[in-house]
């Protein structure tokens, strides 16, 4: 049974495809027009001690650190710091910010967990010792392959 919406015979596939191609062309044109208008968004109204971080640290981390700084203004620094905020987020807590600003005058990118760095790539943060282990395993596998296949000399055994 045909519904009231369907039309019989169905429209040709070419008209359906040409309509979709027109929509895709429109989307591509819209993206190309937008590329020329893109610009870099910079943070505004941030503290002078946080300003240079915008070149290395994500916007979110800088804004969170600034919130911690505002908490610092109301906090008693004689209380011990549990570093719970820093351990959970990798962003310096209010106690740490107070200490860092007192000692260095500015926050540095190194004060944040590497995940907040703009150039952070977790796939490239593997230690060299790991690669040595991988190379050793490959050599062992190569040795076993040669022994099992019989193509290697039996001097290894």
On whether the CB atoms of residues 107 and 82 are closer than 8 A, the answer is: no
Distance CA 53, CA 9 (A): 64
- What's 10's DSSP letter? P
Distance CA 38, CA 58 (A): 19
For residue 112, the model assigns a pLDDT of 93
Distance CA 93, CA 115 (A): 16
The DSSP element (H or E) to which 87 belongs, if any, is: helix 84-89
Query: In this structure, what token pair is assigned to residue 112?
Result: 């944040």
DSSP 14-61: HHHHHHHHHHHHHHHHHHHHHHTT-------S--HHHHGGGGTB-HHH
Q: Which of 53, 43, 26 is nearest to 109 (CA)?
A: 53
- What's 2's DSSP letter? -
**Phi, psi at 77, each rounded to 5°:** -75, -5
For residue 17, the model assigns a pLDDT of 52
* pLDDT by residue, tens only, the chain of 157 residues: 555 555 565 555 555 555 566 677 777 776 666 665 555 556 667 777 777 788 889 889 999 999 998 888 887 777 788 888 899 999 999 889 888 888 888 888 899 999 999 888 777 655 666 666 777 777 887 877 777 776 555 554 4
For residue 92, the model assigns a pLDDT of 93
For residue 83, the model assigns a pLDDT of 85
* pTM > 0.95: yes or no: no
């Amino acid at each position: 049974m045909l519904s009231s919406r369907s039309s019989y015979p169905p429209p040709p596939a070419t008209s359906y495809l040409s309509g979709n191609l027109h929509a895709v062309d429109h989307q591509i044109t819209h993206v190309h027009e937008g590329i020329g208008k893109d610009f870099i968004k910079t943070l505004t109204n941030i503290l002078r001690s946080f300003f240079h971080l915008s070149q290395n640290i994500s916007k979110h981390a800088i804004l969170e650190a600034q919130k911690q700084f505002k908490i610092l203004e109301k906090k008693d620094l004689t209380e011990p710091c549990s570093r719970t905020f820093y351990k959970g987020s990798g962003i310096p807590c209010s106690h740490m910010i107070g200490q860092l600003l007192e000692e260095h005058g500015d926050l540095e990118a190194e004060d944040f967990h590497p995940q907040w760095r703009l150039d952070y790539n977790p796939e490239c943060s593997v230690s060299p010792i790991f690669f040595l282990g991988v190379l050793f395993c490959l050599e062992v596998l190569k040795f076993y392959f040669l022994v099992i296949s019989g193509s290697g000399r039996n001097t290894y055994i």
